[in-house]
A and B are shown apart, each in its own frame.
Chain A
Amino acid sequence: MAAELHVELVAADRSVWSGEANLVIARTTSGDIGVMPGHQPLLGVLESGPVTIRTAEGTVVAAVHGGFISFADDQLSLVAEVAELADEIDVKRAERALERAKSEADAAAERRADVRLRAVTGVH
């Protein structure tokens, strides 16, 4: 069994993160899914949610909004319309967006802002 899998996290307009990982946890429409090296080929639809990539050096967390996870031959790709790494997220802006979404009762925007904040704080 290969010890690591290769991960490509790409957004519509750029490549966000790529590298080797031991474990990737993402949220699909039917629940959280964890992928380790040697997993069965998989193609799933992602929900708005955090993605955790565990590497030898540490853990990378990203907020992902819509997209796909596909895995085959220890090659994993996360394809999202919008994806941000936790350390790229502007917490103040996300908080403001959350407030605004709450006051406007915009459920989708509220969820997006919430996912961003949780990706930063690490509370899933």
Chain B
Amino acid sequence: MGAQLRVYKRRIKSVTATKKITKAMEMIAASRIVKAQRQVAASTPYASELTRAVTAVATGSTTKHPLTTEAESPVRAAVLLVTSDRGLAGGYSSNAIKAADKLTAQLRAEGKEVVHYIVGRKGVAYYGFRERPVADSWTGFTDSPVYADAKKVAGPLIEAVLRDTAEGGVDELHIVFTEFVSMMTQTPVEKRLLPLSLEATAEADTSAADAAVSAVKDKILPLFDFEPSAEGVLDALLPRYVESRIYNALLQAAASEHAARRRAMKSATDNAEELIKSLTRLANAARQADITQEISEIVGGASALADATAGSDR
């Protein structure tokens, strides 16, 4: 076997091995999208009921609460960025990071100080490498988040919102995550969770929650009886609301991550197939060239021999 042919054979073998891996990852990601989507759907009733309740309190009472009232001159904003723990998902994490950078620049232009909170190892690594300060970060659950994870994330954020601005508290809470639009489309989005704006609530929520909110809005809201008091209900309700919104964001981000990974791995598999095809062609050509060379060597050798014997006969 010629040296050229051996090199091609080796490369084909290595590309085939890679293709097997990317194919397997593609299939795993595809099966996980379905599961993640189901989780998003299962969490929707909770989110929509909570949204309904929050809308009811916010419109049905005149109570002032740090989580609902807009600060007169906001000086600090928290940005929660949701990225993935693992790579090999195309531009998934970097798109979310880019969206967060854009939001940060915009908030800075408005004269606000920005505090970053990060979910996912990729985001943490990005900020760590650039030595940007991060207030808090969480890793290890981005591919299948549970409600307890959302609670863990929401805790310090709510605490920061409730703290006085002078002592390092924040006035606004934004979240940047990748919205799962469809299997083929996932778009990074930024949303302001707090202070609560009711228009934003209606727009930003999932479709089911949307319907609930607009249903509530269409009617004149009844006067609510609060148990124990409007303040007490708001105190307990708003942290739950933030948790549920973060939970929903984490679930959507997980579904998007799997979808992005599936697409990235599918194109990797396709590229590997393409590469194998062209390498096989090259290997065939090299083999053919080897054979041709061998034949011409044999023919050349034989005629040289024949010439030599014919000469000695004479």
Stretch at the interface among B96-104, B127-135, B228-236: B228-236
Band of interface residues on B: 20 to 34
| Complex interface: chain A residues within 8 A of B240 (CB) | 67-68, 79, 81
Q: Which residues of B165-222 are within 8 A (CB) of A?
A: 219, 221-222
B91 at the interface (CB under 8 A from A): no
Let me know if B227 and A44 touch, CB within 8 A: yes
| Complex interface: chain B residues within 8 A of A69 (CB) | 227
Identify which of A11, A41, A42, A72 contacts B46 (C-beta below 8 A).
Answer: A11
Identify which of B146, B225, B226, B236 contacts A13 (C-beta below 8 A).
Answer: B146
Given contacts A28-B227, A45-B228, is CB(A79)–CB(B46) below 8 Å? yes
Identify which of A10, A13, A45, A81 contacts B49 (C-beta below 8 A).
Answer: A10
Let me know if A79 and B53 touch, CB within 8 A: yes
* Tally of chain A residues near chain B (CB < 8 A): 26
Closest residue of chain B to A75 (Cβ to Cβ) is B52
Question: 1/0 per position for B46-73, CB-CB distance to A under 8 A?
Answer: 1001101100110010000000000000
A103 at the interface (CB under 8 A from B): no
Let me know if B49 and A70 touch, CB within 8 A: yes
Let me know if A12 and B233 touch, CB within 8 A: no
Let me know if A43 and B46 touch, CB within 8 A: no
Identify which of B45, B225, B227, B244 contacts A8 (C-beta below 8 A).
Answer: B45
A99 at the interface (CB under 8 A from B): no
Identify which of B45, B221, B247 contacts A15 (C-beta below 8 A).
Answer: B45
